[in-house]
Structure 1
Amino acid sequence: CGSTAADAFLTLYNIENACKVQVDVMASGQEIIMPTAEALARTIEVGNDPSFAAADENWQAIRRILDTQDPSYKT
């Protein structure tokens, strides 16, 4: 799922978020507008760019929130 805890967290977060969005869109009864092939390709390109450090940045943000709300997770 990922080579680090940060990678695994971001992957699972993105999967969960995509599922929530899909359910919300389907429940709306509205026409589903799919992104273009170019938009999908660009999203994949950016997501696979090693300099795109979203996983580490998001993981550090989550840890800061946990440190504030319940630091006992460290034990």
Structure 2
Amino acid sequence: MRLERSQGCAKGLKRIYQATDGIEAAKALDDVEKEWGRNYPPIAPSWRGAWQGVIPFQPHGPTRAKRTKATL
């Protein structure tokens, strides 16, 4: 059950990387927080704290975000 939960949360976070703009990414993060915030309380605050580092990738589209994530 624990693995299924973490995979579900990861799927939600993936929507942030796939967002086409900052507004869509912020909505995806809000959705993750609503659905997973109780089980994983530090996720949303952590993402919001690093938001300026996440958002600059969005103007380049999902291809750049995938490439960037793969190199981390």
Q: TM-score, normalised by structure 2?
A: 0.31
Could you say which structure has the larger radius of gyration?
1
Compare the two structures and name the one with the higher helix fraction: 2
